[in-house]
Structure formats: C-alpha cells, structure tokens
Amino acid sequence: MHNLFITQYFDWRRPEPSAKVKLINRFLAKLGTSSRLSSLWVTNVEQRMNMFHLLSQVLVYGVPGAIVELGCAEGHSAVLMQKVIQSYDPTRELHVYDGFEGLPALSRADQATSANFKKGSLKTTRERLDENFRRYNLPLPAVHVGWFHETLPTQLPDEIAFAHLDGDLYDSIMISLKQTYPRLSKGAVCLIDDYCDPAVHSGWNELPGVKRACDEFLVDRLERVSVLYAGAFSHGFFRKGRALD
C-alpha cells in the first residue's frame, strides 16, 4: 500500500512553544535547571513510519492475533493502525484502551520525568477519538474505557499480534507488559513509545520510567528492547521469541 497518508493525516509538525512557555523556559534557564517545558506533541512522522512498517510486517507474515493500543488518547496512532489493517487484513480486530482522564499520579519511579508531564496531562475525550476515525472514514475500533488496572486483566484479546504501548509512566508500562506479554503470539511485535536508551542514542528522554519498566520486566526473559530512530522522540520494540531484532 502507499504510505503517503502518514504525512497527510493530522499535523505531524512540531508546534512552536507559546510565548508563556518561552518565558517560563527562560526563567528555568536562569535558575540553572536543565528541565524545559515544550508544546505537547502526539506523534511525529518517524514514529508513524516505525509503526507502519512493524504493523505491516506482522499482518503480511500472518502472525496470529488482534492489534491493541494501550494509551490511545485522541486516536492519531490508532487511525494509522486501522488504515494499515484495512489494507492488509480487514478481518483483524483493533482494540484501544484509555481512561481519557489524562495521566495518573506519578510514582517514585517517575521522579525524573519532565515537568511537561503531570497528573491530568494529555486529558481528552472518547468523542475526539470517534471524530478522528469518522474524519478518515475508518471503522471504529473496540474502545475500552478505564484505567489499565481496571480494563487490561479482563478485556484484552486472548491472542495479540501487535501491541503499541503508550502509557508514558512506569506503572502504566509495567502493567501493560504484564498483561500483554503472555498474550503475544510468537513473532508478535511490541512497540513501546518513549523508550529511550541513552547508552545507544541520546534522544528524547523525558519519560525515563518507560525504559525502567521495560528493563525490569524483561530482565529474566529472552527478549530485549531494540532502539528505533524516532526523530525528535524515542521508540523501542521487541519481537516475541527473539532476543534482539
């Protein structure tokens, strides 16, 4: 399929910081802190390319199972996934999960998280998600509303071919891994948003709890997370049953 829609759907260019954000950043610089505020941005074109190719792979090679996204927000990534599904295998189910209440409270494991992210950040509505699917004339996914600890234990498909984890924080990523990993088919792909490994690439590292959760969960398992180039953001993935890809 043609993938030009990756740049045509939504606005993937990074927004300019507002005058207020610029003023706060100048103040933070004078204080000598390295933390800065930035305009919140959903995904960029490099992340969407990663998603497009990895999801296409599992569909083309017939890895069994449903497609899931844990942390769907307004559905920008889910729209891309549904577009790919409709092209390669419309029989596949797409399940998305979100509380639509923004981020939960940060834990101690998220102490180094950027000041851009706090309880309630990224709050949106189920209606915005539905509008985005209708905008591109795509079938609505199965939407599971609630905090991950409420929905994942009982509402995940029994078999998963592709999982996109976008929980942002340590606890959210940890429960996502605990619940999806046993359901991943052999050869399934688990794509993790915001995974940054400074030892491999000095990329965007404003949510270090993501890597910590992944590394702790996989420490006694075969798989290891491979770092993907994601432009101004960070991405990692592993394939079920393989040490490295």
Residue of 57, 64, 97 whose CA lies nearest to 78: 97
Identity of the highest mean pLDDT range in 100-109, 114-123, 191-200: 191-200
The tens digit of pLDDT for each residue in 210-242 reads: 999 999 999 999 999 999 988 878 899 999 998
Q: Is the pLDDT of residue 33 over 70?
A: no
Task: Give me the torsion for CA of 104, 98, 4, 239, rounded to 10°.
Answer: 90
What pLDDT, on a 0 to 100 scale, did the predictor assign at position 243? 72
Q: State pTM to two decimals.
A: 0.85
The pLDDT, as a whole number, for residue 9 is 83
**Model confidence pLDDT, tens digit, residues 153-210:** 999 999 999 999 999 899 999 999 999 999 999 999 999 999 988 888 877 788 889 9
Two structure tokens written together for 59? 């569909």
Indicate the domain borders of the chain.
Answer: 43-239
Mean pLDDT of the chain: 86
| Structural contact between residues 120 and 103, judged by C-beta atoms closer than 8 angstroms | yes
Q: Give CA angle at 98 (6, 50), nearest 5°.
A: 30
Higher per-residue pLDDT: 144 or 244: 144
Q: Is the pLDDT of residue 40 over 60?
A: no
Task: Say whether pLDDT at 24 is over 60.
Answer: no
Fold of 43-239: Rossmann fold (3.40.50)
